[in-house]
């Protein structure tokens, strides 16, 4: 999740009652807290037809970031992603460390 310092200081609070449903758009960060000892939460993800899926610019940035992260994990393995991104942000390339 993103660092708390970069998030806007606002949010929404929803208290659901039995039978209520809360729909969250794709890519919305959220947190859930159960107020009762017994709770049933259900997630359902689906991929709409590509021609019907029109993301706004902010959602495209999130989608691209997630695709890049998945590519890096596939190429470097999960442990290599953080060091790669730290080097990249610092302007270092793999060639800088080569002799």
pLDDT tens digits along 53-78: 677 788 888 888 888 888 888 888 88
Whether the model clears a pTM of 0.75, i.e. scores above it, the answer is: no
Give the pLDDT mean for 85-96: 78
Give just the sign of the alpha carbon dihedral 44, 47, 52, 55.
positive
Confidence of residue 79 (pLDDT cuts 50, 70, 90): confident
DSSP 19: T
Give CA angle at 91 (64, 75), nearest 5°. Answer: 50
pLDDT of residue 7: 65
């Amino acid at each position: 999740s993103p660092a708390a310092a970069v998030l806007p200081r606002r949010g929404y609070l929803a208290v659901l009652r039995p039978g209520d449903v809360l729909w969250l758009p794709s890519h919305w960060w959220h947190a859930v807290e159960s107020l009762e000892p017994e709770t049933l939460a259900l997630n359902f993800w689906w991929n709409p037809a590509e021609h019907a899926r029109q993301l706004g610019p902010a959602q495209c940035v999130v989608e691209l970031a997630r695709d890049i992260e998945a590519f890096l994990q596939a190429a470097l393995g999960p442990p290599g992603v953080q060091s790669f991104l730290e080097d990249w942000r610092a302007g270092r390339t793999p060639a800088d460390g080569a002799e």
